[in-house]
Structure 1
Amino acid sequence: MKVAYRGQLDAIDQWLRDINNKLTMGISPTFLLNDCQKMQTDLREVAEKIKHEYPFYSQTLPGIGDNLFRPDPFNYGLMTLNVAAFGELFIIVQHLVREPVDMRFWQDIHPRIIEVSKELFCDGHFAAASESAIKEVETRMRELFKEGKPNSPTPKDAAGLIGALLSDNGFYQFCDTSEISGANFRKGVKSIFEGVFTAYRNPSMHANLTCSQREAFERIVQASQMMSILTDGEVKT
């Protein structure tokens, strides 16, 4: 799976494999100080980039980098390998190469949101990933409107769709409104939809809209919840 730091991660992985091959052949590698410092810098940079996905690894990698090399007592100016730290690093990097994004996050996301947002998110396009998730919710609302009112023109914007589907008299049923708690839940859901689309689907705001990884995560989770509401209910005919 592609991530923004994939090239850097692959370079570290290849270095580890090369060193592991030498160790397997009984060769004790030595390193120039500059090369050691570069590896330590690369590990710190990767650690920073994975802090949301793998906070434990993010905290651990810089320390492993600091302990990865030690002065060669027989060759002045050269460094040798701390094999214990190397083993720790090898295992962590193998995990990151195979699963650079923590897949547990996506296990609970609605399949339709996964389809439009996951690849963008994993590539580091966080704003596009969250925007695609919200757009997919709007697409689902348009599908429901056409199902319930096939002979009526589809509203041009999300506000019209929300009113037709989710208002007190809306024709999409997703909860029991015979009790006050259900009626309040319906009103609350309608307010959530209105707030999300006002905040994230207003074209006049898009030019200046930025989105961090954490913010994208939150919006994708919100879109997933909204999509579940729109797929678990039924159209009243």
Structure 2
Amino acid sequence: MIELPPRTAPVRRLSFEGLHPAVAEASADLFADGHFSRAVNEAFKLIEVRVRDLLGSETSGTKLMDEAFGGKAPRLNIPGHEGRSGQDEQTGFHAIFRGAMLGICNPGAHELVVEQDAQEALEYVALASLLHRRLDSSTAES
């Protein structure tokens, strides 16, 4: 029997060095100092600020995400696919951006800080990084 070399994943460890530069800048020092919840909060606040700036809007939270990604004529298009798949992708990312504001950003902004586990916080920050990358490739409608 022929022995094959062990398979190795191209990325084996999640770290700040691989995250979106804007997220790393906003959150890395807080995370390194053990302020995990604040690091997560800053990463998601940055999404809100960035979407607001892209739209030139005064709204915030879920209303802002609805304005940006929702409806029949979203102001920010993020799909990487054409046709029905692209529509589904737009709808799905609208739900993710909206859910991030509702379930991650809002509780962190309106409640006392309860420190998160470091691994869980890093995974949240990674989600914020992914959303920033999707914003990088978004196209704005007038």
TM-score by length of 1: 0.50
Q: CA RMSD in A?
A: 2.1
Deviation at 1:195, TM superposition (A): 1.5
Larger radius of gyration: 1
| Equivalent in the alignment of 1:221 | 126
Alignment match, 1:110: 20
CA separation in 2, counterparts of 1:142 and 1:200? 18
Equivalent-residue separation in structure 1 for 2:133 and 2:85 (angstroms): 20
CA distance in 1, matches of 2:48, 2:74: 16
The letter of the residue matching 1:141 is: V
Aligned to 2:62: 159
> Percent same amino acid at aligned positions?
25
**Contiguous gaps of at least 5 residues in structure 2:** 1-12
2:40 to 112, 123, 130: 130
Give 1:209 shift. Answer: 3.8
Query: Cα offset for 1:142?
Result: 0.8
Partner of 2:51: 141
Equivalent of 1:194 in 98, 104, 111: 98
2:14 & 2:55 partners in 1: Cα distance? Answer: 33
CA deviation vs aligned residue, 1:63-107 (integer Å, no higher than 9, x gap): xxxxxxxxxxxxxxxxxxxxxxxxxxxxxxxxxxxxxxxx96123
Please give the secondary structure, in 2, of the residue aligned with 1:207: coil
Shift of 1:178: 4.6
- Which is bigger in relative contact order (C-alpha 8 A, separation at least 6)? 2
Matched residue count: 128
Deviations 1:111-141 (A, max 9, x none): 1001110000011111111111011111101
Question: Which ranges in structure 1 are unaligned for 5 or more consecutive residues?
Answer: 1-102, 147-152
Structure 1 runs (4+) deviating above 6 angstroms are none
Q: CA 1:130 to 1:178, structure 2 compared with 1: closer, same or farther past 3 Å? A: same
TM-score of the superposed pair, with normalisation by structure 2 = 0.80
